[in-house]
Amino acid sequence: MGPITPDLADAIESLVDTPILLIALDFDGTLAPLVDRPEDARPLPAASEALARLATLENTVTALISGRDLASLRAVGRPPEQTLLVGSHGTERWAPEIFGAEDENIDLSGSQTAALAKATGILEAISAANPGTTLEYKPASIVLHVRQAAPEVATAALRSAHDQLDGIENLQALDGKAVLEASVLVGTKGDGLNWLREVADASTVLFAGDDITDEDAFAALRPGDIGVKIGSGKSRAQFRLNGPGELPALLESILDMRSL
């Protein structure tokens, strides 16, 4: 049996009649395999091609929703020009002019800038003391990556980061797969998905994601929507694929259904 289970196939079949379908995808670990260095990530060609074809269909809207900032998402994802973008866990938002939506960009206050500087100093010291860990700098956050570190080093670095970041005003620490992100903006992928639904005027939403932060988006889905968890782990999503390599089959099934 292929990656599309009978239940998921039935759910996809129900999309044939929905007036406006929004297909929103996480990027890292969903559209693109996870890699050691964020800048090396690229979407799987088959998934990228299917997404580009979906983006051209009438009454079908595509979107990427990511923890990456928009500049990074554009650089590695190279999304179709009609594709809506949500970055920085819902706090950065962009839509093509035809949707008539206002973009939301990052503009930090003085207190947020100070909190980010404090967090940056803490994580730089932790990364320097823990071999194999790396840092990623974003406009409103700093990310500690531990995927390349030995397991005991990774655990110690994450624990130290949580302990030292705890209590800093205007800062939230977000856990992901082998990452900890210290952000001065409060947002979730659920907020981002709700914005996408409104902008697209979507009657049905399909969202696929792999990480802990994607659970907020799964929680924002409504009856009739489709949530697809990529990979292992507990999830609110009602369907599951084993990894990014199975996503093209899903997108091509939707493409077939919406092209009828």
pLDDT for the residue 18 = 96
pLDDT for the residue 143 = 96
pLDDT for the residue 93 = 95
pLDDT digits (tens, 9 = 90+) for 15-25: 999 999 999 99
pLDDT for the residue 102 = 85
pLDDT for the residue 104 = 84
pLDDT digits (tens, 9 = 90+) for 181-194: 999 998 899 999 99
pLDDT for the residue 187 = 87
**In three state form, how does the secondary structure of the chain look?**
CCCCCHHHHHHHHHHHHCCCEEEEECCECCCECCCCCHHHCCCCHHHHHHHHHHHCCCCEEEEEECCCCHHHHHHHHCCCCCCEEEEHHHCEEECCHHHCCCCECCCCCHHHHHHHHHHHHHHHHHHHHCCCCEEEECCCEEEEECCCCCHHHHHHHHHHHHHHHCCCCCCEEEEECCEEEEECCCCCHHHHHHHHHHHHCCCEEEEEECCHHHHHHHHCCCCCCEEEEECCCCCCCCEEECCHHHHHHHHHHHHHHHCC
- b/e string for 92-130 if b means 16 or more Cβ within 10 A? bbbbeeebebeebebeeeeebebbbebbeebbeebbeeb
Active-site residue list = 26
Q: Are 126 and 144 spatial neighbours (Cβ–Cβ below 8 Å)?
A: yes
pLDDT for the residue 2 = 63
Alpha-carbon dihedral sign for residues 113, 213, 52, 15: negative
- In tens digits, the chain (260 residues) has pLDDT values of 468 999 999 999 999 999 999 999 999 999 999 998 899 999 999 999 999 999 999 999 999 999 999 999 999 999 999 999 999 999 999 999 999 888 888 889 999 999 999 999 999 999 999 999 999 999 999 999 999 999 999 999 999 999 999 989 999 999 999 999 999 998 899 999 999 999 999 999 999 999 999 999 999 999 999 999 999 999 999 999 999 999 999 999 999 999 87
